[in-house]
């Protein structure tokens, strides 16, 4: 154990692998020193666990209707009460973690590439390519984001995948800007000049040499954005175009509870708390990660 | 020297304006084509579901839907350049008139929201910066992160449940009570101002009691953003040489912080406040939905879902122009104030 | 003349405004005594011109603002009573109708109501020919011949000649609809722009003679009506009616409980239950003609099989849905003519029977069920009903995927016949059985580019025999026989059609205890305000 500690904290790493591990360890130590970030990490881990073990944790089938047991107040049997179709709200929230995770994952894997591609191409080629791409970025930035996402969902049709695509289509501009700024720094470095001298094509340079450089800052950006993604998805769900019923999507659950808000407060309250908690978790973690990863 | 600077500034402004024009044109084009490929039949908003075939066909021709998309867009642009933004089929009003009616509602909401954000966010941020690592800092950080984590539509619902339904401290959805609605002459369109101008303080109180909850929701978001940025700007400023000098000179700590530190941090903060304002102006769709607020966000969304083309385009161009305009303004402001940015 | 009228109105409005302000106390939990305020969903209004009104909320306004020659008796919709007409008669060949106006009738403007106004109103309706125009043009009256077939014989007498010997009940029922309302020709003509018969102006103003005068409408916000003390039916009891758009039923209920409004008009089951238990609130109700149904597109090969269609009718738990989701706002109903219509039947042959459904599916070769989609508007209670059906159908292996969408998006898809199942509502266009029979049981051409796109067409249900039989029935001048044919048609329809007809709407209005007299009629245009009294 103490050997491992010495290995990880060595001032003079003997291999690249050791250097990397050591860096990761130092970052972990820094993160550990930040209690709020740890709380965030705990929440995210909890989310992952809840998603993985949803069938075990849930007390009821999240889709099973029981029309004679609708709108029951929280009790020992139904911890968070039941909704308008007599479904157990606690179980729906637990299963909703899966929906949330799927949304976050889908958006992240689609928004990153779009932003990366546009940003690096604009930054690397400069000139009119840059101007055109940046204009397009500006146009998308000038849209009210949620309205644009709503329009895309309306075009693409309902469903969680399409909602994710719509969110990605509206969320890429900041990513493109980050990637572009990063690319402009790297573009004129000796390293890239050397690669160019070796006769590498532009495509190859962008794909193999520029993009990898931009990825870390995009990852930080993504973590910070996770909460925003969750909130946007919930907003779409609330407006009725996010998820397909009977999927237990939290935003849609709030929308369903809206009609009962003044009498059966629990229907809308608990899904909202769940969104708050998870978004807060990602925010706390992202905040801590930024401090650790981003020297700036 | 000075005239040369002025010239270069004029050149920059000219270039920026061209960019703005191109951006707005692009915005129109994107909106137009997205809304047109949406699988919603625009004729339905005009004649309803039960119109016979001939009536339907006539309405389709009147909307120019038989022409190719490009031609439709071209016709629309020509009209816009002659100042005609068309008519909304949903409200059967000219779009300009609709926007004149709904925009002040959004403006009112976003302005009060931003005011709340400024008056809470700046003190909180300054406090956090001066007490780094101690409880005010943690509190500020938590409020900041919470503001980013709470779904605003849910917050609105909870607010309504608590402050309207249970406690009765504020009024419910809508902009003003029915009893007052028709007796306030729309002078500016901003209801609070209109009530005040007409000296109708009853109506003013009523309007305020409707306004306070939704703008507080927006205000939380604004507070979160402004306090975080204030904190980081203030930390930077407080490390500067002149602050140390001022302290050495024996200036009181309060004076150092508020008079010197904050004043210098104010320049970047103005940009932040302007951006937050722009965000609230365009980002209030959900708040407006929850509070049945007859504002621009709801107008655009509703028109979009009904494929009410002229209304969507008119609304989008207003939002886009505000966004681009505020960006441009902060840009110019930054250049004027901070010589390094030139 | 016209200018004078406007001045008078302006003076009246100012007076009204000042008195109303005086009546408002600082506490905002009260409405003025001479004013009744309603919270209602009125975002469907796109015009208040009677020649164009075809939406439920708009129709309620024109019903209170305009008069027609004849109207139906709200207590017995099969009876026709005179409104502006004192008497009417049909010629022996059933082609010409003669209407005699009551003496000394006046519009809101003070202008006398004459036969010329009637002719102008019909000319206006068929020339504008907006969505509801067909209700008149279906009698062969069009913009080219209208002045020849609708004639003022003398200032008090009008004759209308139709192109076929239609059933008298059919013609008269159509004359009760909004599009047949009589407008003040002088006022309309003063507001004509570009030959539009005043349509632009009439969208938000009235030129009428009814119980109330329209005093402004702002889309998605509100409309206001003021009493006409000289109305032919007597002076309305409440001076001012303000109807305010409140989208959320929950908000409507709270506004009502706090006394901010006098009426909440769109409460759902659960708000209704709590409103009923509140001693300050009373609930009144009336049957509406709107029918809630599922449309099964027979372009889907599964629904081309009659056994599958019937199976789904056995697989829907009407009782459970009614009891738990729509109690008080919908009542179980399984035929295409709503209760109260001539020829309506009350038989409900279907109930939830999984075994029967399974047997039928097996007969159709679908023992293990199948998968289909349903387009669902994302509004309550439609989406809840859809989810209940989803879980009920699963019992026989029918996997239902729900595709949520905004109202117009789902409707667009339905009209293009690209749906599998559509869950929708249908309201009669006018108070004659033909309106629903036409849409549910007539499909003149099943081609994609057919001219007439009835509900039968939308579900690609090709029914040449039934079409012929339904069409012939509008010419049946013996009311008893006509009624019998509609009954027969509905029974066949219940068995074979691709429509799972589930419910008929009940309209409810919850009001403060001190307010009474609101009449919920069988159609929106018969939701009358004039007896409303505020104590």
DSSP C252-295: HHHHHHTTS-SEE----HHHHHHHHT-TTEEEEEEEEEEEEEEE
Res B4: pLDDT: 66
pLDDT at C517 over 60: yes
Q: Does C81 touch chain A (CB under 8 A)?
A: no
Residue A7 lies inside a defined structural domain of this protein: no
Long-range contacts of B81-87 (CB under 8 A, 24+ apart): B85/B310, B85/B313, B85/B314, B86/B309, B86/B310, B86/B313, B86/B314, B87/B310
Q: How confident is the model at residue C30 (pLDDT cuts 50, 70, 90)?
A: low
Task: Give the alpha-carbon dihedral of B318, B323, B329, B331, to 10 degrees.
Answer: -150
Long-range contacts of C365-370 (CB under 8 A, 24+ apart): C366/C302, C366/C308, C367/C397, C368/C397, C369/C396, C369/C397, C369/C398, C369/C399, C370/C302, C370/C397, C370/C398, C370/C399
C101 pairs with which residues across the strands? C85
C87 pairs with which residues across the strands? C100
ipTM above 0.85, yes or no: yes
C-alpha C10/C-alpha C2 separation (Å) is 13
**If 0-12 CB within 10 Å is exposed, 13-18 middle and 19+ buried, where does residue C93 land?**
exposed
**Nearest Cα to Cα of residue C266 among C523, C507, C60, C44:** C507
Residue A192 lies inside a defined structural domain of this protein: yes
User: Between C51 and B339, whose confidence is greater?
Assistant: C51
Q: Which residues of B touch A239 (CB under 8 A)?
A: 286, 289, 301
Q: What is the pLDDT of residues A110-160, one digit of tens each?
A: 888 889 999 999 999 988 999 899 889 988 888 888 888 888 888 888 888
Q: What is the pLDDT of residues A244-264, one digit of tens each?
A: 888 999 999 999 999 888 889
Q: Which residues of B touch A265 (CB under 8 A)?
A: 161
User: Between C153 and A293, whose confidence is greater?
Assistant: C153
pTM of the model: 0.87
The CA distance from B196 to the nearest CA of chain C, in Å, is: 16
Cα C376 from chain centroid (whole Å): 21
The whole-number average pLDDT for the span C302-317 is: 96
Cα A23 from chain centroid (whole Å): 25
The CA distance from B235 to the nearest CA of chain C, in Å, is: 46
Residue A147 lies inside a defined structural domain of this protein: yes
C-alpha C75/C-alpha B179 separation (Å) is 34
Q: Which residues contact A124 (CB under 8 A, 6 or more apart)?
A: A183, A187, A202, A205, A206, A210
Res C23: pLDDT: 33
Nearest 5°: the CA angle C493, C496, C499 is: 70
Residue A11 lies inside a defined structural domain of this protein: no
pLDDT at C11 over 50: no
DSSP C11-40: HHHHHHHHHHHHH--SSSS---TTEEEEEE
C401 contacts A261? CB cut-off 8 A? no
Residue A153 near residue A162 (C-beta atoms within 8 A): yes
DSSP A18-37: HHHHHHHHHHHHHHHT-HHH
Pick A258's closest partner by Cβ from C248, C254, C386: C248
Q: Which residues of B touch C406 (CB under 8 A)?
A: 40, 305-306
Residue C300 near residue C400 (C-beta atoms within 8 A): no
Q: What is the pLDDT of residues A42-62, one digit of tens each?
A: 999 999 999 999 999 999 999
**If 0-12 CB within 10 Å is exposed, 13-18 middle and 19+ buried, where does residue C76 land?**
exposed
Please give the backbone phi and psi of residue C217, each rounded to the nearest 5 degrees, phi first. Answer: -140, 130
**Domains along chain C with CATH numbers:** 6-49+210-280+513-534 (3.40.190.10), 70-188 (3.90.76.10), 288-506 (3.10.105.10)
pLDDT at A296 over 60: no
Nearest CA in chain A to C271: A260
Please name the chains neighbouring B, where neighbouring means 3+ C-beta pairs under 8 angstroms. Answer: A, C
User: Between C140 and B251, whose confidence is greater?
Assistant: C140
C-alpha B30/C-alpha A170 separation (Å) is 12
Residue A84 lies inside a defined structural domain of this protein: yes
Q: Which of the residue ranges A18-22, A80-84, C407-411 has the most confident prediction, judged by mean pLDDT?
A: A80-84
Q: Terminal CA-to-CA distance of chain C, rounded, Å?
A: 38
Pick B305's closest partner by Cβ from A138, A154, A287: A154
Q: How confident is the model at residue B333 (pLDDT cuts 50, 70, 90)?
A: confident
Residue A9 lies inside a defined structural domain of this protein: no
Res C505: pLDDT: 93
Q: Which residues of B touch A104 (CB under 8 A)?
A: none
A235 contacts B151? CB cut-off 8 A? yes
Nearest CA in chain B to C15: B183
The whole-number average pLDDT for the span A257-277 is: 93
Cα B297 from chain centroid (whole Å): 9
**What single DSSP character describes residue B254?**
H
Pick B285's closest partner by Cβ from A144, A231, A287: A144
Q: What is the pLDDT of residues B278-293, one digit of tens each?
A: 888 876 889 998 998 9
Residue A245 lies inside a defined structural domain of this protein: yes
**Nearest Cα to Cα of residue C106 among C117, C95, C97:** C117
Q: What is the pLDDT of residues B7-37, one digit of tens each?
A: 677 777 787 788 888 888 888 898 888 888 8
Residue A1 lies inside a defined structural domain of this protein: no
pLDDT at C2 over 70: no
Res B305: pLDDT: 83
Res A185: pLDDT: 84
Range of A100's domain?
Answer: 16-293
Q: How confident is the model at residue C84 (pLDDT cuts 50, 70, 90)?
A: very high
Q: What is the pLDDT of residues A155-213, one digit of tens each?
A: 888 888 889 999 998 889 988 988 898 888 888 888 888 888 888 888 888 888 888 88
Res C12: pLDDT: 39
Residue C156 near residue C114 (C-beta atoms within 8 A): yes
C-alpha C132/C-alpha B56 separation (Å) is 11
In chain C, the percentage of residues whose pLDDT exceeds 90 is 75
Q: Does C409 touch chain A (CB under 8 A)?
A: yes
The whole-number average pLDDT for the span A219-244 is: 85
C130 contacts B51? CB cut-off 8 A? yes
Average pLDDT, chain A: 87
Nearest 5°: the CA angle A168, A147, B208 is: 135
Residue C535 near residue C516 (C-beta atoms within 8 A): yes
Pick C402's closest partner by Cβ from A244, A255, A258: A244
How many domains is chain A built from? 1
C-alpha C520/C-alpha C56 separation (Å) is 13
A287 contacts B38? CB cut-off 8 A? no
Res C15: pLDDT: 36
Average pLDDT, chain B: 85
Residue C49 near residue C202 (C-beta atoms within 8 A): yes
Residue that is written with structure tokens 């595709």 in the block: C403
Task: Count how many Cα atoms sit within 13 Å of the Cα of residue B240 in the half-sphere of its side chain.
Answer: 16
**If 0-12 CB within 10 Å is exposed, 13-18 middle and 19+ buried, where does residue C488 land?**
middle
CATH number at residue A97: 1.10.3720.10
Res B216: pLDDT: 94
């Amino acid at each position: 154990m103490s050997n491992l500690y010495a290995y990880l904290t060595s001032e003079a790493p003997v291999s690249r692998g050791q250097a990397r591990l050591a860096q990761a360890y130092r970052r972990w130590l820094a993160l550990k020193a930040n209690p709020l970030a740890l709380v965030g990490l705990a929440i995210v881990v909890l989310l992952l666990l809840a998603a993985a073990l949803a069938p075990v944790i849930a007390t009821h089938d999240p889709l099973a209707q029981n029309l004679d047991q609708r709108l029951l107040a929280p009790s020992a049997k139904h911890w968070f009460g039941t909704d308008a179709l007599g479904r157990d709200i606690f179980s729906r929230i637990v299963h909703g973690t899966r929906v949330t995770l799927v949304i976050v994952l889908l958006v992240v894997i689609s928004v990153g590439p779009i932003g990366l591609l546009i940003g690096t191409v604009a930054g690397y080629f400069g000139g009119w390519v840059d101007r055109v791409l940046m204009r397009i970025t500006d146009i998308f930035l000038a849209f009210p984001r949620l309205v644009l996402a709503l329009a895309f969902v309306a075009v693409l049709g309902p469903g969680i995948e399409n909602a994710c695509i719509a969110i990605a289509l509206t969320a890429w501009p900041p990513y493109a800007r980050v990637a572009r700024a990063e690319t402009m720094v790297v573009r004129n470095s000796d390293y890239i000049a050397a690669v160019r001298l070796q006769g590498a094509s532009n495509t190859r340079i962008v794909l193999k040499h520029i993009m990898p450089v931009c990825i870390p800052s995009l990852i930080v950006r993504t973590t910070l954005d996770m909460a925003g993604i969750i909130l946007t998805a919930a907003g779409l769900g609330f407006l009725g175009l996010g998820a397909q019923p009977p999927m237990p999507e939290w935003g849609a659950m709030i929308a369903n509870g809206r009609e009962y808000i003044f009498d059966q407060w629990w229907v809308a309250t608990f899904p909202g708390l769940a969104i708050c908690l998870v978004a807060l978790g990602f925010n706390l973690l992202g905040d801590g990660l930024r401090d650790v990863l981003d020297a700036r | 020297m000075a005239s040369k600077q002025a010239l270069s500034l004029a050149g920059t402004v000219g270039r920026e304006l061209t960019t703005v024009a191109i951006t707005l044109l692009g915005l129109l084009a994107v909106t137009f084509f997205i809304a047109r490929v949406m699988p919603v039949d625009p004729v339905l908003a005009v004649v309803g579901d039960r119109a016979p075939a001939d009536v339907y066909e006539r309405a389709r021709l009147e909307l120019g839907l038989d022409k190719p998309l490009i031609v439709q867009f071209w016709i629309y642009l020509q009209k816009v350049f002659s100042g005609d933004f068309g008519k909304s089929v949903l409200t059967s009003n000219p779009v300009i008139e609709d926007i004149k009616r709904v925009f002040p509602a959004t403006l009112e909401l976003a302005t009060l929201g931003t005011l709340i954000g400024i008056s809470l966010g700046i003190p909180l941020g300054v406090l956090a910066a001066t007490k780094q690592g101690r409880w005010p800092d943690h509190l500020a950080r938590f409020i900041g992160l919470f503001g980013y984590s709470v779904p605003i539509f849910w917050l609105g619902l909870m607010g309504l449940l608590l402050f309207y339904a249970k406690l009765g401290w504020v009024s419910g959805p809508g902009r003003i009570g029915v009893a007052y609605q028709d007796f306030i002459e729309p002078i500016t369109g901003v209801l609070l101002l209109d009530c005040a101008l007409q000296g109708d303080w009853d109506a003013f109180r009523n309007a305020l009691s409707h306004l306070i909850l939704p703008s507080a929701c927006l205000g939380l978001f604004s507070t979160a953003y402004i306090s975080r940025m204030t904190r980081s700007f203030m930390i930077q400023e407080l490390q500067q040489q002149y602050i140390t000098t001022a302290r050495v000179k024996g200036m009181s700590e309060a004076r150092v912080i508020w008079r010197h530190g904050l004043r210098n941090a104010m320049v970047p903060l103005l940009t932040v406040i302007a951006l937050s304002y722009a965000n609230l102006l365009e980002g209030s769709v959900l708040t407006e939905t929850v509070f049945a607020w007859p504002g621009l966000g709801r107008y655009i969304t509703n028109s979009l879902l009904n494929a009410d083309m002229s209304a969507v385009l008119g609304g989008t161009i207003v939002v886009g122009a505000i966004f681009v305009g505020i960006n441009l303004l902060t840009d110019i402001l930054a250049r004027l104030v901070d010589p390094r940015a030139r | 003349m016209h200018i004078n009228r406007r001045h008078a109105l302006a003076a009246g409005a100012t007076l009204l405004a000042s008195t109303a302000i005086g009546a408002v106390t600082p506490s905002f939990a009260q409405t003025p005594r001479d004013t009744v305020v309603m919270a209602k969903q009125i975002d469907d209004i796109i015009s208040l011109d009677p020649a164009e009104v075809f939406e439920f909320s708009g129709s309620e306004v024109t019903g209170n603002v305009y008069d027609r020659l004849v109207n139906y008796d709200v207590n017995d919709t099969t009876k026709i009573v005179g409104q502006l007409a004192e008497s009417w008669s049909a010629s022996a060949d059933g082609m010409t109708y003669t209407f005699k106006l009551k003496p000394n009738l006046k519009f809101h403007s003070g202008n006398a109501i004459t036969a010329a106004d009637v002719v102008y109103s019909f000319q206006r309706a068929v020339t504008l020919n907006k969505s509801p125009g067909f209700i008149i043009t279906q009698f062969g009256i069009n913009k080219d011949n209208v002045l020849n077939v609708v004639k003022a014989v003398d200032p008090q007498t009008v004759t209308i000649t139709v192109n076929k010997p239609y059933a008298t009940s059919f013609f008269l029922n159509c004359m009760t609809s909004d599009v047949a309302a009589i407008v003040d020709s002088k006022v309309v003509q003063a507001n004509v722009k570009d030959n539009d018969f005043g349509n632009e102006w009439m969208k938000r103003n009235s030129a009428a003679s009814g119980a109330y005068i329209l005093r402004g409408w702002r889309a998605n916000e509100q409309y206001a009506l003021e009493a006409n003390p000289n109305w032919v039916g007597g002076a309305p009891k409440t001076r001012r009616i303000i109807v305010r758009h409140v989208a959320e039923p929950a908000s409507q209920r709270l506004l009502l409980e706090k006394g901010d409004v006098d009426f909440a008009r769109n409460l759902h089951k659960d708000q209704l239950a709590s409103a009923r238990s509140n001693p300050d609130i009373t609930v009144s109700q009336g049957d509406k003609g709107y029918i809630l149904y599922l449309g099964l597109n027979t372009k889907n090969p599964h629904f081309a099989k009659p056994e599958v269609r019937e199976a789904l009718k056995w697989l829907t738990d009407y009782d459970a849905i009614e009891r738990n989701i729509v109690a008080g706002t919908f009542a179980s109903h399984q035929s295409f003519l709503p209760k109260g219509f001539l020829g309506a039947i009350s038989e409900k042959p279907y109930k939830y029977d999984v075994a029967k459904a399974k047997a039928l599916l097996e007969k159709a070769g679908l023992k293990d069920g199948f998968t289909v989609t349903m387009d669902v508007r994302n509004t309550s209670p439609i989406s809840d009903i859809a989810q209940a059906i989803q879980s009920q159908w699963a019992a026989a292996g029918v996997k239902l995927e729900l595709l949520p969408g905004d109202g117009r998006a789902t409707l667009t898809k339905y009209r293009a016949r690209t749906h599998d199942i559509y869950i929708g509502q249908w309201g009669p266009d006018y108070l004659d059985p033909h309106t629903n029979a036409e849409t549910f049981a007539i499909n003149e051409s099943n081609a994609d580019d057919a001219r007439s796109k009835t509900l039968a067409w939308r579900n690609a249900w090709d029914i040449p025999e039934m079409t012929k039989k339904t069409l012939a029935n509008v010419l049946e001048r013996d009311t008893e026989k006509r009624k019998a044919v509609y009954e027969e048609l509905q029974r066949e329809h219940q068995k074979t059609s691709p429509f799972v007809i589930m419910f008929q709407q009940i309209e409810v209005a919850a009001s403060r205890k001190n307010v009474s007299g609101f009449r919920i009629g069988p159609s929106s245009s018969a939701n009358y305000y004039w007896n409303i009294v505020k104590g």
